[in-house]
Each structure stands twice: as structure tokens, then as C-alpha cells.
Structure 1
Amino acid sequence: MAPTPSAPEVTPSGSPRTPPADRTRLLPQVSGRHHALDGVRALACLMVLVVHVSTETGDALAPGPVGALLSSSALAVPLFFALSGVLLYRPWARAALDGTRGPHTGAYLWRRLMRVFPSYWVVAVVALFLYAGEHLSSARHWFEVLTLTFPFNTAPHWAGPGPEGLGQMWSLSVEIAFYVTLPLLAVFLGLWAKGGRTVDARGRRLLGGLVAVTVLAYLALIPQYYPEPRELMHSWLPRCMGMFAVGMALATLSEWAWRESGPDGPVRRFCRTVGTAPGLCWTVAAAFYVLEATPAAGGRFFEPGNLWMSIVESTASIGFAFFVVAPVALAPPAPEGPRRRLRSLATWTEGAWLDGLMRHPVMVYFAPISYGVFLWQFVVLYLWRDFTGQEIFTGSFWLDLVPVLIGSVLLGKLTHHLVEEPSRRWSREFFTSGTRAGRGRMRHGGDARDPQPPAQDRSRD
């Protein structure tokens, strides 16, 4: 079903055309390269590096507010999960609202596979040869690492969330589980949405379904502790689904705003309010960040604590992810011309500081290489600390952060150019070359009837 006549005009390619209206009434950007979301990805990448370096040096574990706030940088993980929800669920949300066919599942899964694994395999092999030790000859260990299934090993020989040099990859394992689950989840949400006769009814059903997914994520915390504690479940998908659901809900709202009936309905007003109030949203996000730093949210070193602490931690994660990503995901397209300069007073007085920050050259530089920086940082960190002779939980955070950042950036940039981009290009050509029957029409993870915004192809994940 096409959008209602009152919705903004849609071009033949399926991308909404920005109407020449007052900027305060513009609707969320849902197509094209979303530079501001790229900026959030870069921010999350830097936060991950901060928490890993500060934990290794012991600064994040030290008593006091500084250590607590450093440890809260782990909230970068919910940001990555929410971004995946926004970017990957958008075509399914669009299809559910319009009552049309969603993306081609095979093409989507293939592109996710080629997006994640080639670069990961390079880093994993290096880490295995450096740190696997006596387990280097273990076929099971190689299989678990190369398939990102090691978080499901209930009797691991390593300490912490993963093998040495790969401890951060537990979150990548969760991402892979989400990728595999998303098409099935989207089918159920789409079927549930079909019960609505209008676009608005379908939108309400989609949001209701995502609320149910979030509730189930909280319920998944119960078997993590009862009848006995199972700490490994902390790094499994079920407890994290609420963080993905936040992004999925934002994708739904942004697409729904273009189709909502009436001249200015509640969804459009909500999107406009949130999209033009980044200061308020990020202030609320800061409150959730502080909540994560308190003992109520559990320990600081991958220690969930108990059920109630995990509930608080999940609430802080979901709240932080929503209020950081929402004003970006629901904002209208950036105005034409150069980005707003942060040193300009007008940028702050006119409320354009978030766009100026997210499109800052530093963010633009980090966004495309953020996945490589994420992959290499523990290998670089351990090599640096071995070179300088530092023991665990000793050293200086700042003296370690700079060289580890430089090394991770250099390797991340090399990986991006030599592995990520070639893999991405090859995966696209595979589905557009016509070598497989019925796949010649595939483009960007969808079919010819449902073209995907280019931004969806650039999630970290």
C-alpha cells in the first residue's frame, strides 16, 4: 500500500523528496548517506577504546567518580546495537507500513556475512597465533573463534568475555545473532502489523510489538540468575534485544512520519520535537550514563551482579542508547552547504551543534574505519603493554590510550581499504552480475520493488 495522500511526495525510486517547507516541519531523513549517524558510530568507537584501555590500566576499576565514569564508557555497546536496529530494520519497517514485500533475506544475510567476517577473520587469526598458546592446535577453539560462537562455550579456558586479544568480540557475536534473527523477527512483526487497516494502525502495532520484544529482553534476565547464576548469558542476544528494539522503533517512527495521516499528526510532532531538542535528549542520556556508573548497575568489569542490578543496567543501556540516537535518527536532513562550525556562536544559539559535532572532520574520519579500530584494539593494546612491560591493572590510562589509538587507527584504516571495501564491492557484484538465477535484480539487500537507502549498507556492526 502506498503512503496516504497527505504524506510527503515519494519519488519513483522510493526515496521521500524533501518538501520546500519550513525547516521546523521537515521530516526525518530516511534515505541517502546519514552522516550524523556515522558520527554516532565514531563516538561509540572512541568510547569502546576508552573503556578497554582504562580497564586494562585499572583506572576504570579505581574507587571514586572518575573510575566509575570511565567504566560507563561501556555504554558504547548499546549505541552500536541501536544503530544496527535503525539501519537494518528500516526496509522491513517501510514494507510493513506500506503492506509491501520486504528485503530479500538471502541477499541481506550474504551482505551481512561479507560485511563482518572477512576483516574479523584477519584479526582473529592474528590473535590466535599470538595468544592461543597450547590451544593453537585445537580444532574446536579455531571453530569457535572463527564462527564467533565462543560466547556459547559454557566451560571456557579463558578469563573474561572472550579469548585473549578477542575479548571485545562478544558484542560482535551478539550482532551476528541479531542479523540472523532479524528477518524472522521482521516477518512476525510484519504479520502482526497486517492486522491494522491503515498506516497508523500498522505503525501502532509495530511499536507495540517492539515493546513486547523489550519486555521479553527483561524476562530473559531471569534464567541468567535462576535457579542458579549463569554469567555467560550476559553476552547472549536475548538480554540485549531491548537495545536493538530501540533502534528498530526509531526506524519505524521515522518511516511512519512520512506516511502518517493528517497534516500534522502525533508521530510527526514527536519526531520534530525530538529531532530539534538534542540538548534535552543528551542531558537525559547523561543521566542514564551516571546511573550506569553507580553500584546499582552492577560491577565495573563485566560483572552483572544480580538480577536487580542487571535490570538497572539494562534500563541504563536502553535509555542511554535511545536518547543519544533518537535526536540524530529523527532529525531532518542537514541543510545544504558546509557543515556548521562548532566554534561559531550561531551554531549553538540556533541549535545546530549536534549536526556540527556529528559531521566534524574527526567523526567523518573515524566513521568508515570504526569497525577496523574496534577489531584491532585489544591486539594493539596487548602488544603495547607487552612491549612496555606493564602488568594487568597497572600503568597510565593516558600514556596507553594515545599509542593504542594510533596503532588501532593505522591497522583499522589498512583493514578498511584492503579487506572491508573489496569484500563489500565483491558481495554487491555477486548479486548484481546475473550469475545466479533471480538475483540479477538484487541491489543493496532488497529487490527491485523495494530499493534501500544507501545508509543502510554502512552499519558497523
Structure 2
Amino acid sequence: MAPIPAAPEDPTSGSPRTSAVDRTRLLPQVNGRHYALDGIRAGACMLVLVVHVSTETGDSLAPGPVGALLSAGALAVPLFFALSGVLLYRPWARSTLDGVQGPSVRAYLWRRVMRVFPAYWVVAAVALLLWADDRLGSVRHWFEVMTLTFPFNTDPHWAGPGPYGLGQMWSLSVEVAFYLSLPLFALVLTLWARGGRTVDARGRRVITGLVVITVLSFLALIPQYFPEPREYMHSWLPRCMGMFAVGMALATLSEWAWRESGPDGPVRRFCRTMAASPGLCWLVAAAFYVLEATPAAGGRFFEPGNLWMSVIESATSIGFAFFVIAPAALAPPAPDGPPPALRTAAAWRNGAWLDALMRHRAMLFFARITYGVFLWQFVVLYLWRDFTGQEIFTGSFLLDVVPVTIGSILLAMVTFRWVEEPSRKWSRKFFVSGGRDKNLDKGENQSRAPAER
């Protein structure tokens, strides 16, 4: 979310602006279009498509380092979860730090529904009509699919994480569960933060609460394995909450930096350090990626393994998401004008390469249609493999990824033009009378639904 911050000009915020320094060029960007986060989403969407294609062809399951690194692309999932935490929690983080009323829950939920479901319903209906076969007449099956509640079916008739052509939608179900739960999480964090008399005290309480949520997400792994294994719980929200909490913490830090007391406190210094070190942060993220590629983090094909493997996988996911997103989420606004070209030396000084990469026109184009690419990729993949007569775990990744990518992009463009944008514009006709609703809308304009594995 990206509402306009008032705190830097508010004497009660403890962070008044000075004439000597324009703090908008030093503090994290919290309003306007955040192109760096959009770019991360676009890159992660492509990574997810690579994982799906390489799994179907068997390349990611093959022994050796190449297969292991391909399978580790599933770390795109926590990226999308954390991005949702950053963008959607920010209005609540602001209101909690300022001690004022938060955004409208009704407006927030309405816009989430209209952002997620219209395009999803189109793709889900296509997949069901193509492959549901004897389940076409099942009201229960249609209801579970159309409401994204099929991951809660503890005795499914399908193999894998979801019905044929919709296997990736388990992660969208987790997202929707988070959307529904976020106002409650925000309320609990707000009530807990009220015990702090200053902005800094409230900020510390919010971060402490998010640490507790993360710890609880690890404890939620226990009933997944004891007293007996329940693999379907791998597709539920509780074990993923730590990944969302990372994004919520980054949203809190970005808003807290504007309000921190004193001329230059630890929160501001932390934000500046992370924003100025994208290369180092991504190098640490790469180490987490390599760890995910090892057997310690579980199997390669939606196989949670055992409790300790899931603990490692969750810790790896949280660390990877934090170090990839933090340099962008905590960065100040980009300089005015177009970014430097990546081929120039200016793009490689002071971490400017991240902004230059994320604002490249190819990234900007792809960022607009990531949700559609996520929705359509399995439909396109299975239609292509049916057309070429390929069996499961056979074929060539290099020969499949190109047509599947092109087909997914074309369908995503159609969905964006004729379903997503009309739904979004129509939904804005509601709940726009109050100022709080308008602020919420500014932030949600950037938040996209996920493109997970």
C-alpha cells in the first residue's frame, strides 16, 4: 500500500523535516507506484513458470545440481506472500504507529475480492470444462474450486496440490486466507501496540508481535506431522504466516522510519543500509536459494518431507524473501526521470542497478500481467503437452518453456484488458466516500495477486 505519509511534516511524529535535508530522498518510499516491488513480482512470476515447466518435463526432478537449482525456484512463493504483506499491511502499520483509526475493512475486502476472483473464475471454468470429466456435474467440486476452498478437502480425488490445470491455485487459496485474516491480525497488533506511549514504543511492539506470529507459524508445522502426517496442511495459511509477517515487518519499518524520534535513529539507519546494499542482500538471498536446493529443505515435487525439513524450508523461505525484498521495500524514491541504462556505468554505482533493472520496460510490461500469467500457465502448459503428445515427466524444458511462456503472456494480456481492468475500475465505484477508503485504494492499486508455484 502506498498512501501519502503525513508524519514527516507533523511535529507530533517526532520527525520534522529540516530545510537542510530533503528526507523524502533518504527515507523509504511509502507512496506512489513502487516499481522495484513490481519488478520483483515480475521476475518471480517468470521463475514460477520455469519451475512448473521444468517439473512437468522432469528436468527439475533429475539428479544433479541443475535439477536441484530448477526446483529451488519454488522460493518464488514466499516472495509473493511477503509482497502481499508489504503492500496490504502498510495502511494498518501507519494508523497503528500514529494511534489513529485504520482503513475501512469493508472497502479493503471488497477490492480484494474484485481483484482476485473475476479473472480466476474465467480460468477455473476453462480448466474444469476441459478436464473435470465426471466431476462436471458435481456441485461440491464446482463450489470448492470457485471459492478456492479445495485445499481444505482432506480427501481429494485429484493428485498433487490441486485439480488438473489448477494445481498452482493452492497458493492463491493461501493468499485469500491471508486477505481475510489480515484485518484481524492488524486489530490484534494495534491493540497490543496501544500499550506504547510513543511512536517508537508502538513500533517495537508491532515488530515484537510479528516475531510472535512468525514463531507461531513454525509451531503450526507440528500438527502437520503429529500424531500422523497430514500433507494437505502444507497448503494452509498457518505454516505460511511467517512469510507474510516478513512483508508486514518491512511495511512497519518503512513507515516507522518517517516517524522515528531523534535526528537519525536505528530504524532509519537500518533502512538506509539495506537500501544501499542490494548486491549484498541478494548475495545472501542466493545462499538461501542454494540451501533450498539441498535435500535438507525437503523433496522437489511438493513433498514437505518431515518436520525438521519443513522447519528448514520455512526458515529458508523467510530469509530468502526478506533479503530479496528488503532493499526495494526500504529504498527511498527513485530519482526523477528515467533510470540509467543497465549498460552504463551510472547504473552500477550506489545500488542504482536495482532501480534500473526493475524499471526496465520489459519488467514494467510483464509486471502488469503477472496475475494472468500465473492463472493461465498450467492451462497453456497442459494444452501444449497434449498437442505435442508428451507424457508426464518427459519432454524438453527448453522446447516447452518458450511456447508456454508466449501462450501464457497472450492470454494474460487478454484477461488483463477484458477482465482485470474492468473489474478493478468497476469496484472503485464503491466505498470511495471516506478519506480512509481513498487512502486504502492508493495502496491496493499496486498490490497484485500472486503468481506462485
TM interval, short-chain normalised:
over 0.9
**Which residue of structure 2 aligns with residue 441 of structure 1?**
434
Give the structure 1 partner of residue 228 of structure 2: 228
Gaps of 5+ in 2: 1-5
What displacement does 1:132 show? 0.4
Q: Map 1:172-211 onto structure 2 (within 5 A).
A: 172-211=172-211
Give runs of aligned pairs for residues 56-95 of structure 1, distance below 5 A: 56-95=56-95
Give the Cα–Cα distance (whole angstroms) in 2 for the partners of residues 17 and 233 of structure 1.
Answer: 49
2-structure distance, mates of 1:246, 1:218: 14
* Structure 1: distance between partners of 2:267 and 2:429: 38
Amino acid corresponding to residue 311 of structure 2 in structure 1: I
Amino acid at match of 1:460: R
Given that 2:108 and 2:440 are in contact with CA atoms closer than 8 Å, whether structure 1 keeps it comes out as: no
Structure 1 pair 10–418 and aligned structure 2 pair: CA distance change class (3 A):
farther
Alignment-derived partner of residue 154 in structure 1: 154
For the 8 Å contact 2:195–2:202, the answer to whether it is kept is yes
Equivalents in 1 of 2:386, 2:17: separation in Å? Answer: 55
- In structure 2, give the amino acid aligned to 1:441: G
Q: Secondary structure at the match of 1:157?
A: coil
* Mapped contact 1:119–1:420 kept (Cα < 8 A): yes
Partner of 1:254: 254
Please say if 1:454 is aligned against 2:442: yes
Code of the residue aligned with 1:458 in structure 2: it is: Q
Displacement, 1:447? 3.5
Separation in 2, partners of 1:457, 1:152? 30
1: CA distance between counterparts of 2:94 and 2:165? Answer: 40
Counterpart residue number, 2:3: none
* Aligned residue number for residue 350 of structure 1: 350
Q: Deviations over 1:148-190 (max 9, x none)?
A: 0000000101000000000000000000000000001100000
2:297 corresponds to 1:297: yes
Q: 1:305 to 1:219 in 2, by over 3 A?
A: same
- Partners of 1:19 and 1:48 lie apart in 2 by 46
How far is the alpha carbon of 1:406 from its aligned partner? 0.3
Alpha-carbon spacing, 1:67–1:46, altered in 2? closer, same or farther (3 Å): same
Match of 2:9, SS state, is coil
Q: How do residues 57-456 of structure 1 correspond to structure 2 at under 5 angstroms?
A: 57-432=57-432, 440-441=433-434, 446-447=436-437, 451-452=439-440, 454-456=442-444
C-alpha distance in 2 between matches for 1:32 and 1:177 = 27
Q: Is the contact made by 2:193 and 2:205 (CA closer than 8 Å) also made in structure 1?
A: yes
Amino acid at match of 2:202: R
C-alpha displacement of 1:268: 0.2
**One-letter code aligned to 2:123:** V
Other-structure match for 1:51: 51
| CA gap 1:359/1:306 in 2 versus in 1, 3 angstroms | same
Q: 1:24: Cα distance to partner?
A: 11
Answer whether contact 1:80 1:460 (CA < 8 A) is retained: no
Q: Provide the identity percentage.
A: 76
TM-score calculated relative to the size of structure 1: 0.93
Matched-pair contact (CA < 8 Å) for 2:107–2:437: no
Contact 1:217 1:238 in 2 (8 A): yes
The runs of 4+ residues in structure 1 deviating greater than 6 Å are 16-20, 22-25
Deviations along 1:86-132, one digit per CA (max 9) or x if unpaired, are 00000000000000000100110000000000000000000000010
Aligned residue for 1:215, secondary structure, equals helix
Q: CA deviation at 1:17?
A: 8.9
Cα deviation for residue 431 of structure 1 reads 2.5
Mapped to 1, the partners of 2:320 and 2:205 lie a distance apart of 24
The CA distance in 2 between the partners of 1:328 and 1:460, in whole Å, is: 16
> Does structure 1 conserve the Cα–Cα contact (< 8 Å) formed by 2:276 and 2:350?
no
CA distance in 1, matches of 2:343, 2:20: 29
Q: Deviations over 1:335-367 (max 9, x none)?
A: 001112111122113321111111111110111
Q: Secondary structure at the match of 1:300?
A: coil
Contact 1:19 1:26 in 2 (8 A): no
**In structure 2, how many angstroms separate the alpha carbons of the residues matched to 1:382 and 1:130?**
10
Distance 1:19 1:267, change over 3 A: farther
Note the C-alpha offset of 1:383.
Answer: 0.2
Shift of 1:455: 4.2
Q: Do the aligned partners of 2:82 and 2:246 also contact (CA within 8 Å) in 1?
A: yes
Closer/same/farther in 2, CA of residues 269 and 24 from structure 1, 3 Å limit: farther
Which amino acid counterpart does residue 349 of structure 2 have in structure 1? T
Give the 3-state SS of the residue equivalent to 1:228 in structure 2.
Answer: coil
Which digits, 9 at most, give the CA deviation of each residue in 1:189-247, with x for residues without a partner? Answer: 00000000000000000000000000000000000000000000001000000000000
CA distance, structure 2, for counterparts of residue 454 and residue 345 of structure 1: 35
- Equivalenced residue count is 440
Q: Is the 8 A contact 1:257 1:268 kept in 2?
A: yes
Q: Deviations over 1:36-83 (max 9, x none)?
A: 110011011101101000000000000000000000111111000000
TM-score normalised by structure 2 residue count:
0.94
Q: CA deviation at 1:251?
A: 0.1
Change (3 A) 1:452 1:10: farther
CA distance in 2, matches of 1:355, 1:310: 34
Q: For residues 377 and 260 of structure 1, do their structure 2 counterparts lie closer, same or farther at Cα, with a shift above 3 Å needed?
A: same
**Residue 7 to residue 134, structure 1, CA distance change in 2 (3 Å):** closer
Cα pair 1:28 1:329 within 8 Å, conserved: yes
Between 16-25 and 66-75, report the one with greater CA deviation. Answer: 16-25
In structure 2, how many angstroms separate the alpha carbons of the residues matched to 1:202 and 1:388?
59
Which amino acid letter does the alignment assign opposite residue 148 of structure 1?
A: L
- SS for the counterpart of 2:63 is coil
Alignment partners' CA distance in 1, 2:114 and 2:127 = 20
**Other structure's SS at 1:207 match:** helix
Residues 357-385 of structure 1, C-alpha deviation per residue, up to 9 Å, x if partnerless? 11111110111100000000000000000
* CA distance, structure 2, for counterparts of residue 126 and residue 19 of structure 1: 59
Separation (CA, whole Å) in 2 of partners of 1:384 and 1:324:
33
Counterpart contact for 1:31–1:453, Cα < 8 Å: no
1:383-402, Cα deviation, whole Å (9 max, x unpaired): 00000000000011111000
Q: CA RMSD in A?
A: 1.8
